[in-house]
Amino acid sequence: MNNARRAGVAIGGGTGLPGVLRCLVELGLETSAVVTMADDGGSSGTLRRELGMLPPGDVRNCLVALGDAEGVLGQLFQYRFPHGQGLAGHALGNLVIAALADITGSFPGAIEEAERLLGTCGHVLPSTLEDVSLHATDAAGHTVSGQARIAVSDGPVTHVRLEPAAPAAFEPAMRAVRDADVVVIGPGSLFTSLVPNLLVPGIAAALQETAAQRIHVCNVANQRGETSGMDAADHVQALLDHGLAGAIDTVVVNVPDRSPDRSGHCLLCDDEREPIEAVEAGPDTIGRIEALGIAVVTADVVDPADVRHHSHHKLCRVLGRLVA
């Protein structure tokens, strides 16, 4: 089969999305990213507040992933100012996108110019062009507002919503999903990177309508607070509850060589920092996913150098088998 004629879409945000984009490109698919617009922390949050623009951070990361990440332009886009009043913490690429948005008169225009500048081999598409904010309810019933605050919340999240509640989807993003041969959802922060895209009704509808193979790559580790205590089936159910019911065909879950301890938490420590809680994917958990009518692919896909994340090469091998 000639993959060069096939189209792949990756949906998400954060650090997981660029890795999947590189996999799809390496597999020969015409690749697009659909990116959350709910980010309100760090440099993106500052630019949102001060310039009234959409958040550029996740867009920047995807642009670099689809371009020459190791080249000078890619490094420039990712360069973050370490100091300087008003500059400290800003990524240069965020500022370039902000300038291009002003020059072209639109955020999509800025992305198109940045794609040309970086020579990307795919497209980056916001899920919506509306100014959205993310709000969560945690397990104790408390409301937490703002993507950045939700990401560091004390208790596990049970539900998230956008304001406005039904933002219009960006038409090219919907079209990319509908026309795709393969759609990969995740990995990424469950409630703050993945779900915000699904809360855009047009994106959820496109995922329901597409004939593409729809693959969810489940996270290998939970995030303290946001997803504490959740197993792989809980991750999948959260996606179904937030717009993906009937719209996942396959889930890729990590089954590492090392086993969880008796508490159910995999005590894999990163130097002297907080122990990392693996996303459990034992036989019972896999059975719960399969009972939802979803196929499960198990593989050791964790990065041994950083057990919070997927190994790029391991994940690419799994995705390669799925889309071949």
User: What are the structural domains, with CATH classification, of the chain?
Assistant: 3-37+127-323 (3.40.50.10680), 39-123 (no CATH)
With contact defined as beta carbons under 8 Å apart, do 207 and 175 qualify?
Answer: no
For residue 145, the surrounding DSSP H or E stretch is strand 143-145
**What's the confidence (pLDDT) of residue 101?**
98
Residue 304 has pLDDT above 50, yes or no: yes
**What's the confidence (pLDDT) of residue 320?**
97
**What's the confidence (pLDDT) of residue 273?**
58
Residue 78 has pLDDT above 90, yes or no: yes
Per-residue confidence at 324, pLDDT binned at 50, 70, 90?
confident
**Mean of the per-residue pLDDT values for the chain?**
93
Q: Which of 314, 229, 225, 320 lies closest to 278 in space, CA to CA?
A: 229
What's CA 224's distance to the chain center, in Å? 17
pLDDT tens string 228-283: 999 999 999 999 999 999 999 999 999 976 544 434 444 444 444 567 899 999 99
For residue 317, the surrounding DSSP H or E stretch is helix 312-323
Q: Which of 114, 121, 134, 138 lies closest to 45 in space, CA to CA?
A: 134
With contact defined as beta carbons under 8 Å apart, do 24 and 182 qualify?
Answer: yes
Dihedrals phi, psi of 63, to nearest 5 degrees: -60, -45
Q: 9-13, 84-88, 91-95: lowest mean pLDDT where?
A: 84-88
Per-residue confidence at 82, pLDDT binned at 50, 70, 90?
very high
| Angle (CA) 68 73 74, round 5° | 50
Q: Which of 125, 16, 138, 2 lies closest to 63 in space, CA to CA?
A: 125
**What's the confidence (pLDDT) of residue 269?**
44
Strand partners, 183: 9, 214
Q: Look-up: residue for tokens 């642009």?
A: 63
For residue 153, the surrounding DSSP H or E stretch is none
User: What average pLDDT does range 92-109 have in this prediction?
Assistant: 98
Cα separation, 34 vs 176, whole angstroms: 9
pLDDT tens string 152-211: 988 899 999 999 999 999 999 999 999 999 999 999 999 999 999 999 999 999 999 999
**What's the confidence (pLDDT) of residue 17?**
95
When computed from its CA atoms, the radius of gyration of the chain, rounded to whole angstroms, is 19
**What's the confidence (pLDDT) of residue 154?**
86
Residue 3 has pLDDT above 90, yes or no: no
pLDDT tens string 36-51: 999 999 999 999 999 9
Dihedrals phi, psi of 219, to nearest 5 degrees: -60, 150
Separation in Å, CA 290 to CA 216, 283, 286:
13, 10, 6
Q: Which residues of 220-242 are buried (b: 16+ CB within 10 A; e: fewer)?
A: bbbbbbbbbebbbbbbbbbbbeb
**What's the confidence (pLDDT) of residue 260?**
45
pTM, 2 dp:
0.93
Q: Look-up: residue for tokens 């041969």?
A: 181
With contact defined as beta carbons under 8 Å apart, do 217 and 253 qualify?
Answer: no
